[in-house]
Amino acid sequence: MDRRQVLRLGAATGAATLLPAWIGARAAETGPSVRARINIDKGWRFAYGHATDPDKDFGYGLRPFFFAKAGYGDGPANPDFNDAPWRKVDLPHDWAVELPFDARGNTNHGSKAIGHGFPENSVGWYRRALDVPADWQGRRVVLSFDGVYRDSVVWVNGHYIGTEPSGYSGFAYDISDYLSYGGHNTVAVRADATVEEGWFYEGAGIYRHVWLNVTDPLHVGQWGTFVRTTVDRETARVDIDATIDNDGDADAAFTLRHEIFGPDGGRVASGEVQGATQAAANATVTAALSVDKPHLWSIDDPALYRLRTTVLRGGKAADHYDTPFGIRTVVFDKDKGFLLNGHNLKLKGTDNHQDHAGVGVALPDGLQTWRLKQLKSFGVNAYRCSHHPPTPELLDAADRLGIVVIDEHRMMGTSPEIRGQLERMVRRDRNHPSVVLWSVGNEEWSLEWTDLGTHLATEMQTVVHRLDPTRRTTVATSGSGRGVSLAADVIGFNYAAQHDVDGFHRDHPEKPAVMTEEGSTTTTRGVYVDDRAACHLSAYDREARPGNSLSIEEGWKHVQARPWMAGMCVWTGFDYRGETTPFGWPAISSQFGMLDTTGVFKDSAWYLKSVWTDAPMVHLLPHWTWPGREGQPIDVRAYSNAGAVELFLDGKSLGRRTIEKDGHAQWSVPYKPGRLVAKAMTGGKVVATATAETTGAAAKVSLSGDVSRLKADGCDIAMVWVNVMDAQGRIAPTSGNAVRFETTGPIRIIGVGNGDPASHEADRPADRHDFQGVTGWRSLAVDGTGDRPETGAGVDTSAWRDPSQWLPPEKQPAVTRGLVLRGGFARPAMAAGDKVTLFVGALGDSQTVYVNGTRVTPRTQDGAMVVELDPAVLAEQNSLTYVFETPKGGVQGLFDRSVNGSLWGTVRVTHPAQPWARSVFNGWAQVIVQSDGSGTGKAMLKATADGLAPASLGFDVA
């Protein structure tokens, strides 16, 4: 076991906690007598298993009594398994994004080499060593996963703990009874992503955070508080439900002290209430407090309060639990649409999957925030989670930034498993002020028009209302008038062209409505002429599916014309891998986004900015570099929130256009190299300008980051734009130069991308390890140790003992001073540049090791003993031999501790990752940089490209 990956937790002071204590209803870290919430994302080991071949899955499930007896975890689930050859990873981690693209892969999932056709890539193993302090004995220790994709199995110290099929629901296990206090512990997780849960890229692995929650047996339960607010003029009533778990063996009486702290940190209300619970049970205790002159949470002023709940037993604090919340009122009205704090607010939203170029679904927390800021920058005030519960940190960011959220359940149904996932989503997220609507389903085609659909939607909404009576529910439907649409509190229309929305509103005037999806326009950023061979589509706004969806402009006008419509969510905010409409292979990502996969604005985002924001702006499209099209007419458009736009070419006016409400300006301009200028005017005064000019040849690389300082926590990120410029510093709008990247100092690159929907370049190059066990073990009792004739390359071992074969005591050979143990391995498959490493065990005193009869001296690497093998001298069949003093228990005891012999020898072939590189696409690419946790200091990102001047970008890591 690699002791460098052990987290030495110490007393429950929570020194390893990485996030603010009150973010996302997380518990406070308040000292050794109360709760600690410890992030354990760092220091995991990862390896690919196998979905169909147990031998290639490290022998998982092959041990006698596996799963029949407690504590018989096999393969990596065995606590003694040697994971030293495995790759080191920090979480969140998505192994699918590291895989190559393959024409045999599912196009909907981005054509990654994962799924039924790729069993060697579809199972991933994670292991984590923990040293648990002795003074945790008697406390409750809960291992909590925010999300694992998917079908996860968790083992602790060789004991089966549980299975979670969902890739999106958070889950937790109380592992207190399985831990070795004051000793070493091992957590093993097996994830199987063979079966897809959605029809879009979903990644694979432990792609969200993992925590240890350490509490007194008497404590606030998981997601155990529910805060509800009612505003009456200058006062807000705060109702609190607190569920207290008593995991002790005696009944307990307690006092709950509630304190509310305002946005400025000052305490604004407090109170106490008495409660009691039986042993091994829980109790929900209600309370109410008042807040005078409440600071209301809103889009423009997202004020957050904090509730601290203290569990007092005998006058002493047994637990503290912090819950952030907001004070606001939310109404979906059948005639007025959406009202926040009594004011009408048109929802200007986007639908989004959790997927970003470079990192897949394993988004660092800072990237969650960055993406929301990108959306908000063009006027987005609403975010629909499509089509599953989000990562908790996304809701934390929405709370802070002032974006309302439609929180969506994964699948319709009322079975215990599906109901349990729904309940977990609501209980986890119901304190977030950003969440304004629960969605219990999306386009469930087998149910949408049926009585069963009506019944299931009604039953699911009953579950939601029981857990949260303060919010309404919706179902996003592709057809309305029957089935689930009749049961929804708020009807969710997916695409106006697929519904008679006015007829539905006329027939069901009591039902509020929201356009949950609109647009589905397919455009490629920076492309203005369809090139279907390259899977590129013109970026001009248009109907992508005439008769089924509207253009972005048409969709917004449609919603604006109906005051009773709460708003719309555009499909989608960001491009994402998969759903490559209207293409199949070689396209690998969608083109629905207002932003590409890296977050660069497409022109439709600029249109939305013109109708969703008030600060004067104008955007001009297309670019003005069209060699070979001289004299040909170019469709030129301008988006602006001004009253009119006048267009100039090299100073000559091409006409002024009045912009109708929610519309745009348009000209047909014969192309000639030069400078286009759009001047936006209000009341005859120029309020904004935009320029598009013909650029020269690509000359240099440019790097620009959103921050210049990074926290030295191994988590903080910087988003870096990569541009190729001409000699005058203008982005070359059709350039596609390949750019290479390297770093110095305490930073690392964690992902690259460029937004090209058909690019097969690696987003995240990573080492790939293949493993081969040393097998065919034979043993021979000998009189001594050291160099012996039995270590020779050609020794016949057929008469030696099979150490895996059990022998009764009377047939055991005599115990001698020494033991020779010999196994073999075939020459592994290798390519040029691959590295071969032999991992050997420490089996006994006075040990010597031989490979093919030659004595070798292993070196120590991360606590393991390794021998670097020269591929050029490996034979087709090779031997590994140990000579050592016979250990206590002899051969049989040695094998019993060997995890089926796997501790005695493993051959690892490393296929090194390719260097970090990415081609720009139409002048743009992106690099995600992260502090690496190694320390503080100056750091540098460097970019080079053949024939171009290089660039560098510095960071202070502190």
Q: Quote the tokens at residue 662.
A: 């929610």
Beta strand extents in 31-151 (DSSP E only)? 36-39, 44-48, 87-89, 123-132, 140-145
- How far is residue 328's CA from residue 295's CA, in Å, rounded to a whole number? 9
DSSP category for residue 508? -
- Residues ≥6 apart with Cβ < 8 Å to 418: 411, 412
Residue type for position 256: L
Measured CA distances, 156 to 35, 59, 73, 83, 366 (Å): 22, 18, 9, 15, 31
Rg (Cα) of the chain, in Å, rounded? 31
The amino acid that residue 308 corresponds to is R
Q: Tell me the residue type at 942.
A: K
Q: Hey, is 150 helix, strand or coil?
A: coil
In 3D, which of 216, 277, 274 has the Cα closest to residue 244? 277
> How far is the C-alpha of 541 from the C-alpha of 549, rounded, in Å?
12
User: Which positions are annotated as active-site residues?
Assistant: 443, 517
553 contacts 529 by C-beta, under 8 angstroms: no
3 state SS of 131: strand
Return the residue matching tokens 């570099």: 625
Contact between 605 and 595 under an 8 Å Cβ cutoff? The reply is: yes
Q: What's the rounded Cα separation, in Å, for the pair 320 and 30?
A: 7
- Which uninterrupted H or E stretch holds 289? strand 281-292
Please provide residue 397's backbone torsions phi and psi, each rounded to the nearest 5 degrees.
Answer: -65, -40
Spatial distance between the Cα atoms of 372 and 382, rounded to a whole number of angstroms: 10
CA separation (Å) from 758 to 587, 589, 794, 839? 4, 7, 54, 40
Give alpha helix (H) positions in 432-548. 451-467, 484-487, 501-507
Q: Which two tokens stand for residue 220?
A: 């606030």
Dihedral angle computed from the Cα positions of residues 198, 200, 206 and 208, in that order, rounded to the nearest 10 degrees? -100
Closest CA relative to residue 467, chosen from 243, 299, 252? 243
Residue 886, phi-psi category: left (phi > 0), alpha (psi -120 to 50), beta (remainder): beta
Instruction: Extract the tokens encoding 902.
Output: 């796997």
Tokens of 747: 């930073």
Residue 808 neighbours by CB under 8 Å, 6+ apart: none
Rounded distance between C-alpha atoms, residue 270 and residue 289, angstroms: 7
The answer to whether residues 140 and 34 touch, using CB atoms and an 8 Å cutoff, is no
Question: CB under 8 Å to 259, separation ≥6 — which residues?
Answer: 267, 269, 270, 307, 308, 310
Residue 381, C-beta contacts closer than 8 angstroms, at least 6 positions apart? 299, 345, 347, 348, 349, 402, 403, 404, 612
Residues 6 or more apart in contact with residue 411 via CB below 8 angstroms:
418, 421, 441, 444
